[in-house]
Structure 1
Amino acid sequence: MILRRYLTNQVAITTALVVGFLVVMLLGGRLIRYFGMAAEGGLDVSVLFSLIGYNLPYFLELILPLSFFIGLMLVLGRLYTDHEMAVINSSGISRGRLARMLSMLVIVMMLIEAAITLFAKPWGMERATNIWTEQSMTQVFDIIQPKQFISSGDYHLYVNEIGARRESLHDVIVVQMPKDKASAPIAHQELQGDDAAALQNIPENYKSQYDSLIFARSATQVASSDGSIQLDLHQGRRYEVDPLTRRYSQIGFERYRITIATGALPDTEAMRIEGIATPSLIGMITGDISRENVNEAYAELGYRLSLPWMMLLAVMLATPLSYVRPRQGRWLKLVPALFIYIACVMVIISLKDTVSKGKISVAIYPVAIVLMFAFALYLNYHERLMARMRLSRHTSEKLS
């Protein structure tokens, strides 16, 4: 009981220290980048630490298993170098039993990793995406100046007055000119003769194109989750004008919504599938929620369900890999052991990309995990199997 408590406390404390160190190292680089964006005016300073907090589960998803493995290696390696493991083994406690003493800690770590992977990371990614969306909208909205035309996509916007804190626009004029208009419009002098004859020469794809002119008393910004910049125009009129025939139509409105800019947001395109909640992923797989590439949902869900098993694999690998002979030092096995464990994690990460492209079935995830566990079992029982084989060969040679 005392040994179990001591071992659990040592591994938990060491893991927490390693997690803190790695989080500071990785998030420090991200924080410096955000400070640079804020200094250039591309990011509001007030949302810096909110972004860091929402991105924390994204980093902990991989930092936590690696830190747990390093903590196990350091604690078990110290038992060997301080000759405490020899005393423990002489009292009848094997390496396997010592690893089983950590079963409660392993279960807790698996539950924490599952909570981060299945719930915390998608939630944080969604919140971070919303912040980037708001920042992107604010940046475009800030370039609007009173009594000046600005262009955004198909729209040309003119504002006579801007309200306090840029919450509203007053006396707004919006001109929309479709991009797919014919590149060489017919000259106006062609219409000076017979209008009917001139209309026969107008291409069909041009006849359906109209310039839109919108007058509105005021406009307000609308929040959007897809990265688009939207405005609600209030109390105005919309005119559709054919510049060739001089014909137009008009309609009045109390509220009219337009999208003046769209585009990908920074740091969100690569995280598109990662920010989707786990129930939504299951809905995509079952068909309740439509999605173009269902393989991406399969890949992300398999990836999330695989990572908690890396905690159990960490114990199974650390138990044999932490063994050091006298005078070797506990750091000798740490680097190669880290390479082995990181290689296992990289296999899971690489499978995500392969499955999302449809090159292989999602069933490869459990197969890969089983193969990793088989490799870990081989490392645990390799010496015992080799000893039995040598004993059997020695016995057979003696009998012969």
Structure 2
Amino acid sequence: MIVFRYLSREVLWTLSAVTAVLLVIIMSGRFIKYLAQAAQGVLDPGVLFLIMGFRMPGFLQLILPLGLFLGILLAYGRLYLDSEMTVLSATGMSQQRLMLYSLSPALIVALLVAWLSMGLAPQGVAQVARILNEQDALTEFDTLVPGRFQSMKDGSRVTYTQSLSEDRSELGGIFISDKRLSRAGDKERGISVLVAERGRQEIQADGSRYLILENGYRYDGNPGQADYRSIQYDTYGVLLPKPSVNADISEREAIPTSQLIGSDNLRHQSELQWRLSLPLLVFIVTLMAVPLSRVNPRQGRFLKLLPAILLYMAYLALLIAARGALDKGRIPPTLGLWWVHGIFLAIGLLLLYWEPLRLKWASRRVGQEMARG
């Protein structure tokens, strides 16, 4: 029991450290993407941390299996390097017994991943979709920040306002630069620049919104050419486009698991099998990690780390490819993703029993040679 607690503690501590590092890396990249959209006025900066919080279960359901895999490799690799595993082997610790001890932390991780993939992750995706839908309903007027140039319409429009009232109904010191395109929409015909002393928002009966500018000028022309046209106006209306938010999520990811069960839709069946595959993935990578963590102290603990990571990446890539094939009907639902798990389960069993079988065959061959002599 002491050895079991010691091994489990080593694995869980390493798992926690690896998961924390991977989570920070992945969430930082995604946060930068959302931050760029907020800087462009596409997203309200106030919802950024809310979105990241709801996306965290979706990140963790993929990070935890990898964290456990690397945790076992690093923790047990250190034990082999410090000859602690050699001492345990001398007291009767076999690879099979070590595998049984490793299944306890794997069970904890698998239950956590199942909870995330079946419940929290779909709920989080649904909440993110709701927030982004609310952001889609905003206009350029709603996302303006005083004193900042904001790019809209894929960079073809730049808007600036010097001041903005608290109820966001009145603007002062307005500048708008808009690229003019040809009727085909593939060539630029110059730019239009609007400046005005003040402006206000006006909503039409059809729901479209206009920015009504007062006391300003409009300049049309091509940069570098002396063909600019200047128009002074008292009142000018500008249609406010709706920001387009890149949700980067699919609709089926937000469907509750209870609604996926029994569905005849191929995409729904694929999503259900994917969610079931993640907890199963935990046990199979544990089966592969235990024999892969065995290293010679003279070779270093990182000798098998790169091949092990490549094996894990091949497993995950094959799962994703099988999921795509199942979506398109190229694989029958009964076969689904299970054949991928079967392949890597066989690889894990081969890795686990390869060394004992090799030693058994070697001893048998030596015995036969001695009998002949």
How far apart are residue 368 of structure 1 and its match? 2.0
1:267 and 2:247 matched: yes
Letter in 1 for 2:22: L
Q: Distance in 1 between matches of 2:261 and 2:207?
A: 31
How far apart are residue 104 of structure 1 and its match? 2.3
- Which residue of structure 2 lines up, in the alignment, with residue 330 of structure 1? 301
Q: Distance in 1 between matches of 2:26 and 2:69?
A: 18
How far apart are residue 102 of structure 1 and its match? 2.7
CA RMSD in angstroms comes to: 2.9
Residue pair 2:136, 2:244 contacting (<8 A) in 1 also: no
- Which residue of structure 1 lines up, in the alignment, with residue 364 of structure 2? 392
- What TM-score comes out, normalization by structure 2 length? 0.71
Residue pair 2:103, 2:286 contacting (<8 A) in 1 also: no
1:317 and 2:296 matched: no
- Which residue of structure 2 lines up, in the alignment, with residue 151 of structure 1? none
- 1:311-339 CA-to-partner distances (Å, cap 9, x unmatched) read 11122111111111131110111111111
1:119 and 2:119 matched: yes
- Which residue of structure 2 lines up, in the alignment, with residue 215 of structure 1? none
Q: Superposition pairs for residues 223-302 of structure 1, below 5 Å? A: 265-268=245-248, 270-285=249-264, 294-302=265-273
Letter in 2 for 1:64: L
Residue pair 2:140, 2:243 contacting (<8 A) in 1 also: no
Is the radius of gyration larger for structure 1 or structure 2? 1
1:339 and 2:310 matched: yes
Of 336, 341, 346 in structure 2, the residue corresponding to residue 374 of structure 1 is 346
- 1:254-290 CA-to-partner distances (Å, cap 9, x unmatched) read xxxxxxx99985225x4222121111212533xxxxx
- What TM-score comes out, normalization by structure 1 length? 0.66
Q: Distance in 2 between matches of 1:139 and 1:118?
A: 35
- Which residue of structure 1 lines up, in the alignment, with residue 68 of structure 2? 68
In the alignment, structure 1 segments of 5+ residues that lack a partner are 144-163, 168-217, 222-228, 232-260, 286-293
Q: Distance in 2 between matches of 1:120 and 1:389?
A: 49
Q: Distance in 2 between matches of 1:129 and 1:355?
A: 25
SS in 1 for 2:78: helix
- 1:100-150 CA-to-partner distances (Å, cap 9, x unmatched) read 12332221111101111111111111100000000010226849xxxxxxx
- Which residue of structure 1 lines up, in the alignment, with residue 172 of structure 2? none
Q: Superposition pairs for residues 118-157 of structure 1, below 5 Å? A: 118-139=118-139, 142=142
1:91 and 2:63 matched: no
Of 320, 324, 336 in structure 2, the residue corresponding to residue 353 of structure 1 is 324
Residue pair 2:68, 2:106 contacting (<8 A) in 1 also: no
Q: Distance in 2 between matches of 1:276 and 1:141?
A: 33
Letter in 2 for 1:339: L
- Which residue of structure 1 lines up, in the alignment, with residue 8 of structure 2? 8
Of 291, 297, 307 in structure 1, the residue corresponding to residue 278 of structure 2 is 307
- 1:177-218 CA-to-partner distances (Å, cap 9, x unmatched) read xxxxxxxxxxxxxxxxxxxxxxxxxxxxxxxxxxxxxxxxx9
How far apart are residue 220 of structure 1 and its match? 11
- 1:36-79 CA-to-partner distances (Å, cap 9, x unmatched) read 21122111111000000111112112111001111110100001
1:135–1:91 CA distance, 2 compared to 1 (3 A): same
Q: Superposition pairs for residues 177-216 of structure 1, below 5 Å? A: none
Q: Distance in 2 between matches of 1:393 and 1:84?
A: 31
Q: Distance in 2 between matches of 1:68 and 1:311?
A: 8
